[in-house]
Structure 1
Amino acid sequence: MTFKRLATLAGTGVLAIGLVACSSTGGKPAGSGEGGGGGGTVDTPRKTIAMITHEVPGDSFWDLIRKGAETAAKKDNIELRYSNDPEAPGQANLVQTAVDSGVDGIAVTLAKPDAMQAAVKAAEAKGIPVVAFNAGADAWSAMGVKEFFGQDEFIAGQAVGERLTGEGAKKAICVIQEQGHVGLESRCAGVKDKFPATETLNVNGKDMPSVESTITAKLQQDPAVDYVVTLGAPFALTAVQSAGNAGSKAKIGTFDTNAALVGAIQDGTVQWAIDQQPYLQGYLAVDSLWLYLTNGNVIGGGQPTLTGPAFIDKSNIDAVADYAKGGTR
C-alpha cells in the first residue's frame, strides 16, 4: 500500500490538488492579507457557525485548521466563533454554550466521543446541524452528525506500519501524547497491525520537557528501538532532541506537519510525515455547513470525506514548502 498521491475526497467528486501532506483560544487567527486563498464573498444571508476543538495550547497544527476555517467563513459570509478546550468535559460545555447562543451550525472534533454525545444531541434537538472533522471517524455517524472530514486513523497507522517494514525497521515506539484520544490510539493500533514490533509510549503532551525526558529515558532503557513514531509535528522535533540526548540512532517519523517540520524533512532529521491536510479539514467543515444551510447539501453520501493519509518525505517536500511558509500546509 502506498499513499504517494492525495486521497480522493470521498463522495465529493473533488480531487484535492497538489502533493499531500490535534490546542484558551487556540490556533492563531489569520490576519488580513495572509495566504490561503478565499476570493470573493457570497451574497447569501450571514450565518453564525461555531467551531469547537480539543486543541491543546501551543500545538501549531490547529493554526492550519483555523486558517482553513477562516478562509471558508470569509468566502461564505459567515461569522466564525472558534473556541477550544483539550479536556472533553470543557469541550462539551463549549458545544452546549454554542447551542444555547443559537448558532446556525456547529463544527466539532470528536476526540472523546462519549463525552461529547449529550452536547451534540442537544444541538440536533434544536435543529442545529453538526459536522465533525479531524477526530471521530468511527463515531460521528452513530451520533447523528451529518458529515465527517478527516482521515481514517487506523488506515493511516497501517500505512506507517507498512513503511516501517519496507525500511527494514526492527523495533518502534509509537508515542501517544493524550491518553484516551480515540484517534491517536487508532493510529498506534494501525501501526502495530502492520508492524507488530511496535510498543506504545504514553507521554504528557501538555508538558514538552516531560515528553522529551520520557522519550529519552525509553531510548536509553531500550537500545533496540530504531524508530520513533510520533503523532504530531512538535513531538517529532522533540523526539529528535530525545534521540540526541540518549545517544540513539533511532529514526523519527511522524503524523502531521507544520512549517518547522519542513526543514527537518529536507535535512533528513525527520524521515517523513503523514499529512491529513488540516487546512482542508477546517475549510470543508465550515463550507459544508454553509452548503447545508443555504442549499440543503450533504457531502459524502453517509461516508467520511477523506483528506488523507499521504506521505511527505524528501521526494516531495519541496512541493509543499512554499505552502507551509504561507501557513496553509
Structure 2
Amino acid sequence: MNRPLPVPRPSAVPTSPRLAALAAACCLLLAGCSGAGSAASAADGAGGPGGRVRFTLITHGAQDDAFWGLVRKGAEEAAAKDGVDLAYASDSDGAAQAELVRAAIRDKVDGIAVTLAKPQAMRAPVAAARTAGIPVVGLNSGIDAWRSAGLLEYFGQDESVAGRAVGDKLDGLGVRHALCVIHEQGNVALEARCAGVKKTFTGETDMLYVDGTDMDAMTAAVTTRLRQNPDIDEVVTNGAQFALAAVQAADEAGSRARVATFDLNKDLVAAVRDGRVQFAVDQQPYLQGYLAVDGLWLHRTNGNVSGGGAAPVLTGPAFVTRANVAQVARYAAAGTR
C-alpha cells in the first residue's frame, strides 16, 4: 500500500521559508509497500492496518537522484520481503530532515532509518525517537557520528577510508593534480571523501564546491576551473551524474583531465566501459537501503543488532574499472547497482 507521511503540526515547524513548505511536501512523499504476511505481520503492537509493522526511511537525498532511487528500491524490496509498510521521505536541509523524523515519531511508527549527512541537526530528533521507544538505525552518511547520536546500527561506507583508497589509486595512475568536487557543502560524507583523497594522494589536491541541485551551474563551474588551471589532470566527483557532467566540462574546457568518481549507476557503468570515466567507487546504495529496513525488522522480530551495536556494517568501497565493469553491468541494468 502507499501511505503519505503525516503533515507536521504547524506549531512544530520552524519559520524558515524552506520549512514553511514542509507540510505540503510531506503529503507528496509517498511510501512504497510490501508483500503478503510474514513474521513481521504478527509482531506485537504493530501500528499499521491489520497489525502490520510500519517503518519510515528518511534521507537527505534529492527526489530525482538516481543514487537515492537505488537506496529506496533496496529498502522497498526488503519491506516487501518482510511484510512491512514503509514510508519514504527526504530533504537535503538538515532542519527539514529533522522535522520529518519528528513527524514519523508523532505518527508512532515502529522504526526509523535515517541518514546523518548533517549529524548535529539530527541529534535531538533521534533522542526524541529513543525516548518514544522507537528504534533508529543509520545508513549512508554519518559513520563517525551514529554511535554518539544513539543509533542502534549503521549500514554504509567508511568515507574516509574510501577517500584514502582513491588517493592511493590516483598515485598509481600517475596523476599529478586532482580537483575534488563537492556538490553539497556541509555534507560530512562528501567532506570526508575529499579529505581522504588529499591525505594519501601525493600530488596537489584542490577542492571545488558547487551547487549539486543545478547541473548546468555545476558543469560551468568545473569548466571554468579547468580553464583556469590547465595543469589539473584528474577530476574526482562525488556522484555518478556529476562525473558525467565533469566529462562534458573537460570537453568544453579543452582539458586533458580524466574523470573518476564516487558512486555508481547504470549510465556510469557505460561510461566506465567505454573509457570516458576511469573508475567508480561503489558503496552499494541498494544494499544500504535493504539492510537498514531488514535490520529494523530483525531487531523487532528477533532482537538482533548487526555489528553488536558497536561496529558499522560496511557496504563499500569497491572499485569498478574497465577491467571488471562487465561483472557489475547486469546488476546495474536490473536497477540494483
Partner of 1:236: 243
CA shift for structure 1 position 249: 1.1
CA shift for structure 1 position 81: 0.4
Partner of 1:44: 40
Partners of 2:152 and 2:35 lie apart in 1 by: 27
Partner of 1:275: 282
CA shift for structure 1 position 274: 0.1
> CA distance change for structure 1 residues 260 and 289 in 2, over 3 Å: closer, same or farther?
same
Partner of 2:13: none
Partners of 2:336 and 2:191 lie apart in 1 by: 26
Alignment of 1:217-228 (within 5 A): 217-228=224-235
Alignment of 1:83-232 (within 5 A): 83-196=89-202, 197-232=204-239
Partners of 1:65 and 1:238 lie apart in 2 by: 22
Partners of 1:42 and 1:215 lie apart in 2 by: 50
Partner of 2:14: none
Give aligned-pair identity as a percent: 54
Kept after mapping to 1: 8 A contact 2:138/2:292:
yes
TM-score, normalising length from structure 2?
A: 0.86
CA shift for structure 1 position 322: 1.0
Partner of 2:8: none
CA shift for structure 1 position 29: 8.1
Return the letter of the residue paired with 2:160.
Answer: F
Partners of 2:246 and 2:159 lie apart in 1 by: 21
SS at match of 1:200: strand
> CA distance change for structure 1 residues 274 and 253 in 2, over 3 Å: closer, same or farther?
same
Partners of 1:30 and 1:116 lie apart in 2 by: 24
Kept after mapping to 1: 8 A contact 2:31/2:88:
no
Partner of 2:318: 310
CA shift for structure 1 position 224: 0.6
Kept after mapping to 1: 8 A contact 2:37/2:83:
yes
Deviations, residues 217-258 of structure 1 (Å, cap 9, x unaligned)? 000000010000000000000000000000001000000001
Match of 1:252 among 259, 273, 277: 259
Partner of 2:293: 286
Kept after mapping to 2: 8 A contact 1:27/1:59:
no
Partner of 1:4: none
Return the letter of the residue paired with 1:153.
Answer: E
CA shift for structure 1 position 295: 1.0
Aligned residues: CA RMSD: 1.8
Partners of 2:244 and 2:331 lie apart in 1 by: 20
Return the letter of the residue paired with 2:272.
Answer: I
Kept after mapping to 1: 8 A contact 2:74/2:286:
yes
Count of residues paired in the alignment: 300
Partners of 2:145 and 2:164 lie apart in 1 by: 20
SS at match of 2:184: coil
Partners of 2:83 and 2:183 lie apart in 1 by: 36
Kept after mapping to 1: 8 A contact 2:30/2:88:
no
Return the letter of the residue paired with 2:291.
Answer: L
- From the CA coordinates, give the structure whose radius of gyration is larger: 2
Partners of 2:57 and 2:316 lie apart in 1 by: 21
Query: Any stretches of 5+ residues in structure 2 without a counterpart?
Result: 1-24, 42-51
Partner of 2:61: 55
Partners of 1:145 and 1:170 lie apart in 2 by: 40
> CA distance change for structure 1 residues 324 and 167 in 2, over 3 Å: closer, same or farther?
same
SS at match of 2:185: coil
> CA distance change for structure 1 residues 126 and 41 in 2, over 3 Å: closer, same or farther?
same
TM-score, normalising length from structure 1?
A: 0.88
Higher mean displacement: 157-166 or 54-63: 54-63
